[in-house]
Amino acid sequence: MNSSLLLFMKFIKITIMLACVLNMPRVMAQSPVLTAGNIETVTIGSQDITFKCGNVYGKITVYNPSIIRVRLDKKPLDDDFSYAVVGEPQKTKTTIIQNNETITLETDSVKAIIQKEPFSIAFYTPNGELINEDEHGLTTSWVGTAVTTYKKLQDNEHFVGLGEKIGNLDRAGNGYMNWNSDVYGYSVTQDPLYSTIPFYIGIHHNINYGIFLDNTYQTDFNFGASNNRFSSFGARGGEMNYYFIYHKRLADIITSYTYLTGRMPLPPLWSLGYQQNRYSYYPQAEVMRIARTLREKRIPADGITLDIHYMDQYQLFTWNNSRFPNPVLMNDTLKKLGFRTTVIVDPGIKVAKGAPAYESGLRDDVYIKYPDGQAYTGQVWPGWCNFTDFTSQKGRNWWHKQIKFFAESGVSGIWNDMNEISTWGQKMPDNVLFDYDGHLTTHLQAHNVYGMQMARSSYEGAVEQFKERPFILSRSGYAGLQRYTAIWTGDNRAEDDHMLQGVRLLNSLGLSGVSFTAMDIGGFTGNPSIPLYTRWIQLGAFIPYFRNHTSLNSKASEPWTFGEDVLDIARNYISLRYQLLPYLYSTFYESTQNGIPVMRSLAINYTFDPKVLYPDYQNQYEFGDAFMISPFESGKDYGKVYFPEGIWYDLYTDSVQAGKQNKVIQLNINKLTVYVKGSSIIPMQSLVQSTAILPTDTLTIHIYNGKKNNSFIYYEDDGKSFQYQKGEYYKRKITFNPSNRNIMFNDAEGNYTSHFKFIRLILHGFDQVNNLSLESGSSKLENISYAFLSAAANTDPQGSASVAEACQVKCVVIKNNSNKININY
């Protein structure tokens, strides 16, 4: 071989090696992050577009004029299935325009502009104001099976909602994970907690919007944590599937969200009364002692709750015969005393050959399984257990039948616990299989929805077996849980920061579509101080579900166990709650109609007032539309209160504060700081010791003078049956029009006859008004002194008798009828 040929061959070899080296960085630089890419094909429908990008498939749908749904996946989109969404798409006038660069979908409420190269989406008002947009360069991408959508962080953007999440009311600067967890005695910085509601509301530049990520895998939200570029939301599996909601008013965003995910049913009236709980009340004689003591000490109450010690060795659908020898007689006696019984249930069925529930579950093949067909077994209170697959219709039907056990025992409420799923070790394997209603999946996808489906099963079974409205409570849940259950915030601590954190948790749940909420009054773990218990029991009167609960081996936490002074304060506030039941029940009715919560963050009605999100004022909230509650730590002597726009009356004295200002006030352990909004309408009744007892036949209507027109929907029915669904209700709109100096009771609607034969009008702030003009003639107003709380008991033999704080008001009594009542002043 000559030298020229050798040189040529070496040159070729070097060239090949150099090419390989030069190509290596290209291979190594291939990104592990998969982006959507450019839109390549588009199919346009009447109110949707279906498209294919370089790496993903997508569909964007106008769900109704204010909701746009976005779906993206690396593979062709799966069948549409959701445990959360029950609202159907509405036929909507939609304009869709496509050009080489963009696709525009527009309704009369919102506009979406989709960029084609690369794919991204931005939302605008009809006037062209930017609401929300993808972060350019990031948009939506996948890392392995995890998918995340990145949104450009707007200047001074705030975020609220996301359900049961700790921290400040404003989520800005923080990140959160959704993976339902059993977190006994959790800290006030702990995340995640027990439930998952992947819905939040963004606020900026006098604009607000909502985003609901409907994905039951573990989800993660970042509201500018560790970055100043984006907010983001994503899931560890499944598709990117979110609903974008825009309205001018934040309240309307909640209404649209609950249009999607459903609204709560009317609760039984007894569940709005005071509930006495403990882990645990037993034996049967102790339960009766607690009930009779409540009556003897004139503490109004409607519920006694039994924890796991009522069961035989903690096995479901059993009674411990030595502790509860006659549960039917006990529950019947409690009903005669005006109490309803709620019992705890867990999802685990003890593996015990011959046990009726266990054997029945085996026969009906209802337990979750490993891939090899063996039932999954986890350890909880009874020992080793199998677990009902509540994501299958077969499993839910089986559970419905088991609820008959409680119906036959005289039980009225079901408390679903440990349904995250919780097992000792807290490490259920990923490969456990769930039916997922015909979409077979693993624990990774089913975990977050399991608790909600258990609550659903309990609700459906109780409706079927109890033959009246049941009360259902759950520790865990997913978006849409409000259709079936109330929820409480789990195993909190007897500490001041837990009391205030609990307020924010309930306000956040309300912002996330859940109205029927609770925290354990007094704290579940630990022992509250006397001042802390006092503050908490006062606060409980203004919480949707009023539940006093404490743990095993803690001190007793009934109101009388903290001394006579605390007993007197507790009795005062529990009694006030019972007098407010017409207002509270009507407010719950409102929630069934529009999803607006009973316990309302100030961000709902004062969204663009920046002070409502300040840490100093974030614990303030409205209870219905009339009351503003300002809770403080038990040891404080002074506190700062912010008064939003309007006129505000001190509940106890009627002293008036102008809005748009903050004020330092002196605190008093004997009373909770409560204000009433000007123009409010508040119906009240006489005091009863139980909702099983009828109040007197006079309905008191408090009207507070103000500058704004206001209305209130008063609602009444039998409080227990489903007859209201057949028209057996009494509903009436009451309006106050200060500019026309008019109060109007509209014609009553419905076929139910109101219990109240008379209306007692009490006017606050009407100092110059002495007469009312009705169609029947003129009525002279009586000047009276009105106290919302009774005077404190005189327990100190050397002290002087206390005098109740009172308001100087005007009063008149008129006959109630179903026809329009027109009153001028």
Annotated active-site positions, please? Answer: 417, 420, 491
Cα gap 275→357, rounded to integer Å: 29
Which amino acid is present at 153?
L
Give the pairing of strands 486-488 and 517-518: parallel
Name the strands in the sheet holding 710-716, side by side, starting at the edge strand that comes first in the sequence. 710-716, 730-737, 742-745, 821-824, 771-774, 777-780
Phi/psi region, residue 352 (left: phi>0; alpha: psi -120 to 50; beta: rest), is beta
| 697 contacts 758 by C-beta, under 8 angstroms | yes
Burial bucket for residue 728 (CB in 10 Å: 0-12, 13-18, 19+): middle
> CA-CA distance, 310 to 326, in Å (whole number)?
11
The H or E element spanning position 809 is strand 807-815
Helix orientation angle between 393-402 and 356-364, rounded to the nearest 10 degrees: 150
Distance CA 410, CA 330 (A): 9
Cβ–Cβ under 8 Å, residues 458 and 417:
no
Q: How far apart are CA 141 and CA 438, in angstroms?
A: 28
Which tokens hold the place of 544? 């949707």
Hey, which residues does 129 pair with through a beta bridge? none
Question: 640 phi and psi, to 5 degrees?
Answer: -95, 130
Strand 821-824 to 742-745 pairing: antiparallel
Instruction: Tell how many helices (H) and how many strands (E) occur in the chain.
Output: 13, 53
Q: Give the separation between CA 121 and CA 112, rounded to whole angstroms.
A: 7
Give CB contacts under 8 A, 24+ apart, made by 111-117: 112/60, 112/68, 112/244, 114/39, 114/49, 114/60, 116/38, 116/39, 117/38, 117/39
Pairing state between β 471-474 and 413-416: parallel
**Cβ pair 598, 541 in contact under 8 A:** no
Phi-psi map region of 709: left, alpha, beta (phi>0 left; psi -120 to 50 alpha): beta
What is the radius of gyration, based on Cα positions, of the chain? Answer: 30
Give the single-character DSSP code of 122.
E
At 577, list the tokens: 């709650």
Residue pair 319/409 in contact (Cβ under 8 Å)? The answer is: yes
| Of the candidates 257, 58, 41, 222, the residue with the CA atom closest to the CA atom of residue 135 | 222
Q: Please give the Cα distance from 609 to 573 (Å, whole number).
A: 31
Cis previous bond, 644, omega within 30: no
Q: Is 286 helix (H, G, I), strand (E, B) or coil?
A: helix
| Element spanning 674, H or E | strand 674-677
**What would the DSSP string read from start to end of 682-737?**
EEE----SSTTS---SEEEEEEE--SS-EEEEEEE--SSSSGGGGT--EEEEEEEE
> Are 428 and 446 within 8 A, CB to CB?
no
Residue 170 dihedral angles phi and psi, to the nearest 5°: -85, 120
